[in-house]
Amino acid sequence: MIHVIAGEKGSGKTKKMIASANEFVIQSKGHVVYLSNNSETMYELSSSIRLIDTSQFPISSVDSFIGFIYGIISEDYDIECAYIDNINCITKDEETTIKFIEAVKVISEKYGIKFVLGIKAPKSRVSDVEIEYIAV
Q: What is the pLDDT of residue 136?
A: 44
- Residues in the chain where the model's pLDDT stays below 50: 136
Q: What is the pLDDT of residue 128?
A: 55
The amino acid at residue 78 is: D
Q: What is the pLDDT of residue 65?
A: 94
- Please compute Rg for the chain using Cα positions: 14
d(CA 84, CA 88): 10
| Closest C-alpha among 26, 54, 28 to residue 118 | 54
Q: What is the pLDDT of residue 86?
A: 86
d(CA 72, CA 82): 10
Angle at Cα 118 formed by Cα 114 and Cα 124, nearest 5°?
115
DSSP 57: S
Q: What is the pLDDT of residue 98?
A: 85
d(CA 60, CA 46): 29
Q: What is the pLDDT of residue 96?
A: 87
> What is the dotted CATH code of the domain comprising 2-131?
3.40.50.300
DSSP 98: H
Asked if residues 25 and 80 have their Cβ atoms less than 8 Å apart, the reply is no
